[in-house]
Amino acid sequence: MAWEAAIVKDANGGDAVIERSVNDERKYRWLQLENDLEVLVVSDSKTEKAGAAMDVNVGHFSDPEEVPGLAHFLEHMLFLGTEKFPDENSYSSFLSENGGRSNAYTSMESTNYYFDVGHAHLHGALDRFAQFFIAPLFTADATDRELNAVDSEHAKNLQDDMWRLFQLEKTTSNPNHPFHKFATGDSKTLRDIPKANGIDVRERLLAFHERYYSANRMRLVVLGRESLDELSDWVRSMFSSIRNTGVAPPAYGCADGPLTSAQLGRVLQVVPVKELYTIEMSWPTPPLRGLYERGPARYVSNLVGHEGPGSVLAVLKSELGWANALSAGQSFDNSDFGIYKISIDCTTRGIEHVNEIVAIVFAYLRLIIGDDYAGVERWRWDEVATQGANSFRFQPPTAPFGFVSRAASKMQIYPPEHILSSALLREFSRQDIIDLLDRLVPENMQLIVAHQGLEGRATEEETWYKTRYSVEDLSADLLDAWQPSGDPLKLLASADRDAISLHLPHPNNFLPTDFEIKPFTAPEPLHADSIIGSFQSRQNRQPLVVSDALRAATETLVAGINSDGAVHQRSLLNPWDEGADVWRPPVLIASGPEVGGLLWHKQDTTFKVPKGAVTISLRSEEAYRDPRTAVLSELFSNLVQEYLVEFAYDAEVAGLFYQLRNNSDGLIITAGGFSHKLPVLLDRVMETLSDEAAFSEKEFLRCKEKLIQDYRNFEKEQTYQHAIYNCTVLLNTPRWHIDEKLAALEAIDDARVVRDHARAYLRSATLETLVLGNFTPQEALQIAKGARSKLPSDAVACPGAVLSAAAGARVVALDDGVEALYLHPTRDADNVNSAVEIVYQIGPVLEDPATEAALRVVAHICQEPCFNRLRTEEQLGYIVFSGLRLDAGVAALRVIVQSSRADPFQLDDRIESFLEHFAENILTKLSEEALRANKTAVSENLLERDKTVFAELRRWSPRIERQTYRFAKLADLIEAINTTTKADITALFADRILNKAARRKLTVGYFGANHVAGLSSAHGDARQDKNHNQHQQHPASAMAQHMRSDGSQKLWIESIRDFRATHPLYPSQTNKL
């Protein structure tokens, strides 16, 4: 069996055997403490971060009916002080100071708390964490304040269709099952209604914690560098005092699941916020989690969710033009019920054929059922099992933050032996698959259809999100027509019926069979001068000298940094020694016409897995000249990806991937996965770029429609996302606004226009390729040659053109002593949230590691106090963030806040007040010990080693894509951080953040529905931006009365294009070869 070759078993002195991957070097031990707390301790001698998670077997299903959201409210409260550590931010500030972070979530049946921290500080973090479950404070003041955070979290989700549809499913479900409850809670359910009914919510919080937070219902995971014995001792000493009340698992007192006969055989017709066209088919099932070794739902989903030829999606998308995407699987799998769901993203044409689309799904199910369930075959199950076994066998070590959370959650479901290996399929059970298929029948289905055209039919409004909808029974004739035992396709028009061809998948030829790790071959790096000439400077470019390029190719970046951050060493090792050196950068091994430009390569000696990753930068001056060419480039890449779906799906499920993405320089092609079959996938991708069959009129119209929807739907995103987006457009050039691109897209009406653009694009394109992983230099060369061979024969192939074709990203230089403001009402009239992003621009740092180091350190120190002040204490909103912003090598400090309680004027005031408080009360009083701890945290976060070849690709590829080639930059930055002083950071903060006469400040703000009325009355008439369709409402005289009287000059931005045109640009950080 495939799974047997993927595992090893050991107990390591624990109370149970644990299965792990044969390539997993971590050590595991399962324990059960005297208080019945079950624990998994993990020793990883190489980890930079430690972490822990606690999963408590209680969620919002256990909320009292009279206090919806209580479990979620309790989750928030545990972060706000304990008897041993009473300061509200003791936990978060300890983690932040030591390079860590935390999070939590409340689900239906569990609440999960987790964190990571620098490995040397696990003991202190665990001590604080354990007190959550021993003696939390629940102070009255914190309870009153944190309620606002819960309310803000709910307000954030009010216009989110995912949350709206989820709650609608819940609200309309069986009222006797806890699935129907409102999970999040808000100020009404947690304050107003309880108060009116004489309920003390704080007392309910205490009682809930007392009743359900019992050690026997908890599962703990701890991961650190320490030995299993030491970690076990820590766990026993810190967590043994958690009370064990012996509380039984939650019992919900409902024999039926959330979908009973009253909810089945009906259709919910829903009006979404965004321009969506979706169909969801849901069926109740028993809980299937106990069948994890057999995987009946995975088997069915592998067939119904397949995207290859003959699949439901292939028919709906390619043959009929009715759908864009399809997913299938077990949507919910709880302790007492399951729900199997098929979701379809339709086109505007497709949503007019809901009954026919459902018929096609049932016709496909009929293929599986066939004569005596002929589609239930052992070889198909073996394929799914092999895919899972390959994935488990070669899975990389998961970062502690995610690992501990998921493992703690799995401990509630699986036996100790299978906590890590629960995804392996071990036993083929034909009957289990048949039992599931027998449930997927029309009369047992709830159908949900969502699109804005249903507004006229909506007769009801959901309680919590105010979603408009209607409920209708499905007719007996329709249910009968859909029966898989009959002929569902008779509902289709004869022309449509004749056009389609459904069949089950063929064997997957992408499954790898060669897992050899290639013997290391030393590359022959090119000398930059002799191959591509001297590095040249260009107007507004920073020249890169040859010595820097050679250093980048020959130095190991960082050997290590000690725990207090005081020592840093750079090791000048031979970069081509066969050794585990994740810091060794790629080297330039080929240049010229045969590879279309430049080829960089690094053979893996670190991860030792049969996987690879490739990035190809296809640069062209045709990519982004204006909004029209930007949109044509996006359509080009979208059409190629859509054309490849049926071919590439097998590759995806076999453990490979590819991606096309556009930037201002051109098209970036990324591919990765098992090295055995990766070149086959990459060859086909490159070949399709020039395949005119990809540019059919039918596919063009579908892709254009989908892209228009995506552009329009951006208007309905969160206001803080609009602030971030417009800040990016304001500061960066070239960057075309989404409104400009939408106008250009609507004017493109022929697939031939895209085809012609693709031809011109490819003829002018040059390639820069990076190959990493289990590939020798010769194999990398073959990959690059193969990519070049797929381009037109007259394509540019001069290495010098690789750089000259790219204009290079430039960043607007803000004016000294000027506050630029770009303020608007939200476009979504129903969104109550306002938001700002405020940027304090510092300047280019690529060649100035000292300034970047000082900014990174002060931004790190600032992050937790900012969150604590603006979110926890002042309760401005759920989303509060501060940190470093980097735009093409230009650095800034940024603060982002979204609030339903305060408008952008007020948010600006509170942010400015905080920054003054931070400088006076935190920065000036910072001890040398605290500074050293924060410097270490910043350094260790930067030095966290890549865990996979794909993570390594993300490290090196931006330096090549952006053409900076500063592979050794990290070493310089770490050195600068280690020498940064308190004087450096206080001077930077005083001169560049607080000094209103010299600082460069940009405020981008959006006014939510709660505040826009006051904005309109203050501003008078609205003006239309001449460059894009966004209303401008900001006469300076009216706005000035809302702003702080700081004496600084203000610049009101009325046009993004004019603002960028009238400001100087920083030199490009791109280097020209």
List the structure tokens of 207.
């009682």
Residue of 793, 791, 784, 792 whose CA lies nearest to 597: 784
* Cβ neighbour number for residue 640 with a 10 Å cutoff: 21
Quote the tokens at residue 227: 């030995």
- Whole-number Å distance between alpha carbons of 14 and 816: 63
Kindly state the helix (H) or strand (E) to which residue 205 belongs, with its residue range: helix 201-212
Backbone angles phi, psi at 428, to 5 degrees: -80, 125
> Any idea which of 127-131, 496-500, 1004-1008, 1061-1065 has the lowest mean pLDDT?
496-500
- Which of 64, 60, 116 is closest to 92 using CA atoms? 116
pLDDT tens across 162-212, in order?
999 999 999 999 999 999 999 999 999 999 999 999 999 999 999 999 999
Cα(589)–Cα(777) distance, integer angstroms: 8
Q: Which residues lie below 8 Å from residue 472, measured CB to CB, with a gap of 6+?
A: 266, 267, 269
For residues 296 and 433, the answer to whether their CB atoms sit within 8 Å is yes
pLDDT per residue as tens digits for the range 370-383: 889 999 999 999 99
Residue 966 pLDDT: 86
Q: How far is CA 780 from the centre of its chain?
A: 30
CATH 3.30.830.10 given to domain 585-804: yes
Could you tell me the two tokens for 623? 């990519």
- Name the DSSP class of 998: T
Say yes or no: do domains 33-239 and 277-396+421-450+475-499 share a fold: yes
Which string of b and e fits 10-32 if b means at least 16 CB within 10 Å? eebebebebbbbebbebbbbbbe
Decide: 768 and 736 in contact? Cβ < 8 Å: no
Candidates 3.30.230.70, 3.30.830.10, 1.10.10.1200, 3.40.50.300; CATH matching 33-239: 3.30.830.10
Q: For residue 907, is pLDDT > 70?
A: yes
Tell me how far apart the 2 most distant CA atoms of the chain are, in Å.
Answer: 84
Give the torsion sign (CA, 1009, 1010, 1015, 1021).
Answer: positive
Residue 56 · residue 217 · CB < 8 Å: yes
pLDDT at 552: 36
Is residue 273 within 8 Å of 194, Cβ to Cβ? no
What is the pLDDT, as a whole number, of residue 217? 98
Residue with tokens 């198909």: 380
What pLDDT shows up at residue 1046?
Answer: 56
Q: Where are the domains of the chain?
A: 33-239, 277-396+421-450+475-499, 585-804, 810-1011+1044-1061
Q: Which CATH class is domain 277-396+421-450+475-499?
A: alpha beta
CA–CA separation, 540 vs 733, rounded Å?
A: 14
**What CA–CA distance (Å, rounded) separates 831 from 662?**
30
Mean pLDDT of 895-915: 97
Strand order across the beta sheet in which 101-106 lies: 27-32, 38-43, 218-224, 49-56, 111-118, 101-106
% of the chain beyond a pLDDT of 70: 90
Binning pLDDT at 50, 70 and 90, where does residue 25 land? very high
Q: Give the model's confidence band at 785: pLDDT under 50 very low, under 70 low, under 90 confident, else very high.
A: very high
pLDDT at residue 716 in the model:
95
**Model confidence, pTM:** 0.91
Closest CA to 426 of 382, 464, 457, 393: 382
Q: Which of 19, 38, 75, 621 is catalytic?
A: 75
Q: What is the pLDDT of residue 249?
A: 87
User: Quick check: 86 and 142 in contact, CB under 8 A?
Assistant: no
Highest mean pLDDT among 451-465, 580-594, 803-817: 451-465
Check the CA dihedral 1017-1023-1024-1026 and report its sign.
Answer: negative
Does residue 75 have an active-site annotation?
yes
Alpha-carbon distance of 722 to 667, in angstroms, equals 25
Residue found by looking up tokens 């560098």 in the block: 225
CB atoms within 10 A of CB 679: 18
User: CB of 556 within 8 A of CB of 573?
Assistant: yes
Count Cβ atoms below 10 Å from residue 541 Cβ, excluding itself: 17
Q: Would you state the pLDDT for residue 1010?
A: 86
The answer to whether 988 and 855 have CB atoms below 8 angstroms apart is yes
CB 988 within 8 A of CB 851: yes
* DSSP strands (E only) in 923-1008: 1000-1007
State whether the Cα torsion 440-445-449-450 is positive or negative: negative
- Can you give the length of the chain in residues? 1073
**Which amino acid is residue 437, in one-letter code?**
L
CA nearest neighbour of 249 among 335, 325, 183? 335
State the amino acid at position 396 in one-letter form. Answer: P
Q: What is the pLDDT of residue 3?
A: 64
Q: Which pLDDT score is estimated for 538?
A: 26
Nearest-angstrom CA–CA distance, 760 and 794 = 11
What whole-number distance in Å separates Cα of residue 986 and Cα of residue 983? 5
Cβ–Cβ < 8 Å for 984, 842: no
**Host H or E run for residue 404:** helix 400-411
Strands (E), 826-935: 834-844, 879-887, 890-899
pLDDT at 1029 over 70: no
Class of domain 810-1011+1044-1061: alpha beta
- CA dist 695 and 750 (Å) reads 10
Between CA 133 and CA 146 the distance in angstroms is 19
Strands 338-346 and 278-285: antiparallel
Q: Which two tokens stand for residue 218?
A: 């908890």
